[in-house]
């Protein structure tokens, strides 16, 4: 039975990863209201690396990522945005964040009307790394570490030939 599950999971993995990976080289536009950092607009983050992390309070791997994402957010050249993708009351989310503090903006996302800038995540966590020009450099389906993101940053910005012309980002 376990072998059947592993086989099915392996076969499904490329299907799950495809929408996220198709974002690489694009320049998404997204503006969301965060819990306590005001309006967060991707276009205003140009000049720094940006990590966009879809997560939920019930997701153990998501919770494990919070300290590493917070450490990245402490860097001057990196901004992190957490998109809480679940049905949860604002008070419950704030209480969760008291127990698991994130040193980056958190924006609740309506699961019935998610922002169109990124594909609806088919699993959590789901993380995008955007280069300083606002171009998606990498997409991670599943858990990500600070070292994974550091490796993307070390590769440098997405070449313009891959990114294409600037679409305005808004």
Q: Tell me the pLDDT band of 53, cut-offs 50, 70 and 90.
A: very high
Cα 150 to Cα 60: distance, rounded to the nearest angstrom: 22
HSE-up of residue 124 (Cα within 13 Å, Cβ side): 20
| Domain residue limits, the chain | 2-163
Task: Check residue 59 and give its pLDDT.
Answer: 98
Task: Check residue 14 and give its pLDDT.
Answer: 40
Task: Check residue 20 and give its pLDDT.
Answer: 86
- The mean-pLDDT minimum among 3-12, 21-30, 131-140, 145-154 falls in 3-12
Q: What is the DSSP string of 11-33?
A: HHHHHHHHHHHTTTT-----EEE
Cα 133 to Cα 111: distance, rounded to the nearest angstrom: 28
Cα 158 to Cα 25: distance, rounded to the nearest angstrom: 7
Mean pLDDT of the chain: 88
Unique residue bearing structure tokens 């699993």 = 123
Strand 78-85 and strand 106-109: the pairing is parallel
Kindly tell me if the per-residue pLDDT of 16 is higher than 50: no
Unique residue bearing structure tokens 């019935």 = 112
As a whole number of Å, the end-to-end CA separation of the chain is: 48
Q: Tell me the pLDDT band of 18, cut-offs 50, 70 and 90.
A: low
The mean pLDDT value for 8-13 works out to 38
Interior angle at CA 168, CA 166 and CA 170, nearest 5: 140
Domain 2-163, CATH class in plain words: alpha beta
Q: pLDDT tens-digit profile of 62-81?
A: 999 999 999 999 999 999 99
């Amino acid at each position: 039975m376990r072998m059947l599950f592993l086989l099915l999971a392996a076969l499904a993995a490329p299907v799950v990863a495809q929408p996220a990976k198709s974002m690489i080289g694009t320049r998404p536009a997204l503006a969301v209201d965060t819990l306590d950092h005001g309006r967060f607009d991707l276009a205003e983050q140009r000049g720094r690396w940006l990590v966009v992390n879809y997560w939920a309070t019930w997701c153990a791997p998501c919770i494990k990522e919070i300290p590493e994402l917070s450490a990245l957010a402490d860097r001057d050249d990196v901004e992190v945005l957490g998109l809480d993708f679940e049905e949860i009351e604002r008070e419950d989310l704030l209480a969760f964040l008291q127990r698991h503090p994130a040193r980056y903006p958190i924006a609740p996302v309506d699961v019935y009307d998610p922002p169109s800038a990124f594909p609806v995540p088919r699993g959590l966590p789901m993380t995008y790394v955007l280069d300083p020009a606002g171009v998606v450099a990498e997409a991670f389906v599943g858990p990500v570490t600070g070292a994974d993101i550091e490796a993307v940053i070390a590769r440098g910005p997405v070449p313009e030939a891959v990114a294409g012309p600037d679409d305005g980002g808004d």
